[in-house]
Structure 1
Amino acid sequence: MLIRRFILSSIASFALFHAYTCFVIDTYSEFDQKCQTNTFGDRNCSFLVPNNWNFLKFREWLEKTNEHIGDVSLDLTCMDGGTVFLPWPFRARTLRKIQVRNCLIDGYYSEFNVESKYPNTVKDMALIDVAILSDINQLIEMNLNDPLVKSSTCGQETNFRFIQRNVTFSFVPSKEVPSFDRLSEAFDSLAEKSKTQPFTCHFENLVYLEHTGSKSVSRIHFDTMTDHSVYPKLKVFNFSSNYLPTIPRQLTRWLKFFPSLRLLDLSNNEIREFSFEHPDVSQNSLYISLANNNITSVPADLPTYLNGKTPVLINLLGNPIHCDCRASVLSQYLKTLRRKAPQFKALSNVKCHSPRAFAGRKVRTVNFKLC
């Protein structure tokens, strides 16, 4: 009996050891197989995730690799139901590019407000069609009690391009649902900490920023974004399809917050009115898309938007323009736009939505002389 137990025990131990060894080997061999390396040591890693994938193991594999590693690119695409454990802000050895698509992200806040031993290296980051798994009570406690840390608050300051497209939040079931007062307290705490944070986020290289397809844009989103952050080179800012009802001051006064801005996309929102500064500074034109919003009338000074050294080109296509006498300034603007910027002449085809007598007519063809 004892011999039998010894044999069974030995077999079991061997099986466990073999299984563990195979797990480690298979895990690392998967990284080796999925990461294509060129002659410069750059690694292009692409994974199709059916179930679960762990960024920590990937980071450990990079760390333990003794050979030279150049730039690392990571592409994660999940099958339906696929989950990735991915702590913000995705730091790892020489990681330069990361794209995550169609995944449920777990562990997103697991390294939040913790100083990272890894430096900022990412230049191109994209989160597309992902859901971030969160514990609402944990987030409340974090906002109320944890100080802001530059490592997680700023994220990857080396970014050249940052895309957040159709990013949503999925909350784990909780027995204790927080009260409205508790939520408001946490919200106010975050706003206050953002205004008094003792550091500045320097996005010196950021040229393209996209935040689209969000149903939950906070009312302090632009305050936390700009209170202690600078974007000296940002040229393209896409903030379309976010149910935005009004234009925040940071965008109406774009030169102060985004001095190099050349394209601002606010299309497919719920904006009803607009006003933008048009400073007399020597820069290229600024293109602003307000297409497919709820704008019925335009500011009285709209024609002056094209007079300065930085012409402001406004796309108002797809808006329910009301063609009363106040629309005469829009007609004037569209005619001038067509003459001064013929490459954008399609923008001059804005149509009247009302009154019924003018519905469907191009605004610039309406006779406003009687006004």
Structure 2
Amino acid sequence: MLLCRQFSIIASFIFISVCQSFKLDINSEFGKNCETNELGDRNCTFVVPNKWSLLKFRKWLDNLTGNVRNVNLDLTCIDGGIVFLPWPFRARNLRKIHVKNCLIDGYYSEYNINSKYPNTVKDMALIDVAILTDINQLIEINLSDPLVKSSTCGQETNAWLIQRNVSFSFVPTKSTPSFKLLQEGFDSLAEKSKSQPFTCNFEDLLYLEHTGSKSISKIHFDTMTDHSVYPRLKVFNFSSNYLFSIPMQLSKWWNYFPALRWLDLSNNEIQSFSFEHPDVNQESLYISLANNNITSVPADLPSYLSGKTSVLINLLGNPIHCDCRAIALKQYLKLLRRRAPQFKSLSNVMCHSPSKLAGRKVRTINKVC
């Protein structure tokens, strides 16, 4: 009881301090939803039932006098609310932007246009949103406009970037583009990405999530890495994207994401895998391949734990076939329990077939050949 009371007193003190620190500007449409503290930080929260515009919000910020330091923006839509958000969401001293459950209009309205606003966003999240898209406009952009660093790279200052359950909603059009025109637009984008004259440097990016997508392009990882660097990225979540195979950029992760420590590829449709394990001294790399369609593992899997960089693989929930090829997995799982006891739960991978071994732990089976 004493502990609970102390916690209650501390919580009340924090709440009162925050309330005293932040004040509401009730003299404007946007100000009444933005708390401001003595340092000039503004925490702005909007629930959008109809429409909301970044252009108007940006103008309001530009007209503010006095010290405007960090601006944090949270947008949550209800009942089909629409937000007008030109990519990549730049505004005066905007440090955080989270958008949830919204239809995004105007996404391409400032595409390939140099912005007067610098990169400032550190924390960006798009969750359960649909981007309203004019397919003919998108094709025209891909065919005609040169790539501009401002929109191609987006916010290079991001430390935390989430794209979760992001989809595209195509607006009605009088003329549906032919398959040939669609292919030309796609090929043009691929070619321009290969010859991109600038580098996107995401030197601050630590966490990247791209999950729940049904429209991953076959050149997604090419455009992501051809002219972009991620020197400090530690966590990459690419789960639940209907991925059937592991792209080269992830198999050879060390060349593209040298600081990576956690790679989530769970809940995809992956059938096989292979990862490099460089002979350098660094922390281990954890890779989740849980709940995919993997039946067998590479013959050299035990070596993933023998180098200077241990690669810890999560294979739980896969339909493992316990034949001679499962010996490598058995050896790996036993070694995993010894080398990384904190991850020993990963060693409980089960046989899925043949039927006589179904439900048995792979590390406990004998004479499978």
TM-score interval, normalised by the smaller of the two chains: over 0.9
Distance 1:327 1:28 in 2: 69
The residue identity in structure 2 corresponding to 1:213 is G
8 Å CA contact 1:74–1:99 kept in 2: the answer is yes
Distance 1:305 1:181 in 2: 45
| Deviations 1:289-344, CA, capped at 9 Å, x for gaps | 00000000000000000001110000000000000011010000000001110000
State the 1:28 CA deviation. 6.5
| Deviations 1:178-235, CA, capped at 9 Å, x for gaps | 1111111110100000000100000000000000000000000000000000000000
8 Å CA contact 1:80–1:102 kept in 2: the answer is no
| Deviations 1:5-60, CA, capped at 9 Å, x for gaps | xxxxxxxxxxxxxxxxxxxxx99623111100111110000000000001100000
- 4+ runs of 1 displaced by more than 2 Å? none
Q: Which residue of 2 is the match for residue 171 of structure 1?
A: 170
Distance 1:93 1:326 in 2: 58
Q: Which residue of 2 is the match for residue 297 of structure 1?
A: 296
**What is the correspondence of 1:39-58 to structure 2 with a 5 Å cutoff?**
39-58=38-57
The residue identity in structure 1 corresponding to 2:48 is V
Distance 1:80 1:342 in 2: 48
| Deviations 1:90-126, CA, capped at 9 Å, x for gaps | 0000000000000000000000000000000000000
Distance 1:109 1:153 in 2: 11
Q: Which residue of 1 is the match for residue 37 of structure 2?
A: 38
Whether 1:147 aligns to 2:153 is no
**What is the correspondence of 1:44-193 to structure 2 with a 5 Å cutoff?**
44-193=43-192
The residue identity in structure 2 corresponding to 1:52 is K
Q: Which residue of 1 is the match for residue 202 of structure 2?
A: 203
Distance 1:220 1:27 in 2: 48
What's the TM-score once normalised by structure 2's chain length? 0.92
Q: Which residue of 1 is the match for residue 223 of structure 2?
A: 224
The residue identity in structure 2 corresponding to 1:326 is R
Distance 2:311 2:166 in 1: 30
Q: Which residue of 1 is the match for residue 250 of structure 2?
A: 251
Distance 2:26 2:299 in 1: 64
Of structures 1 and 2, the larger Rg is shown by 1
Partner-residue secondary structure (3-state), 1:100:
strand
Aligned residues between the structures = 345
The residue identity in structure 2 corresponding to 1:140 is I
Distance 1:91 1:269 in 2: 33
Q: Which residue of 1 is the match for residue 12 of structure 2?
A: none
Partner-residue secondary structure (3-state), 1:268:
coil
Q: Which is worse superposed, 224-233 or 177-186?
A: 177-186
Task: Provide closer, same or farther for how the CA distance between residues 61 and 328 of structure 1 changes in structure 2, counting only shifts above 3 A.
Answer: same
8 Å CA contact 2:26–2:32 kept in 1: the answer is no
8 Å CA contact 1:28–1:61 kept in 2: the answer is no
What's the TM-score once normalised by structure 1's chain length? 0.92
Unaligned 5+ runs, structure 1: 1-25
Distance 1:76 1:211 in 2: 19
Q: Which residue of 1 is the match for residue 352 of structure 2?
A: 353
8 Å CA contact 1:98–1:124 kept in 2: the answer is yes
Distance 2:277 2:26 in 1: 56
**What is the correspondence of 1:332-371 to structure 2 with a 5 Å cutoff?**
332-368=331-367, 371=369
Partner-residue secondary structure (3-state), 1:279:
coil
Distance 2:193 2:69 in 1: 36
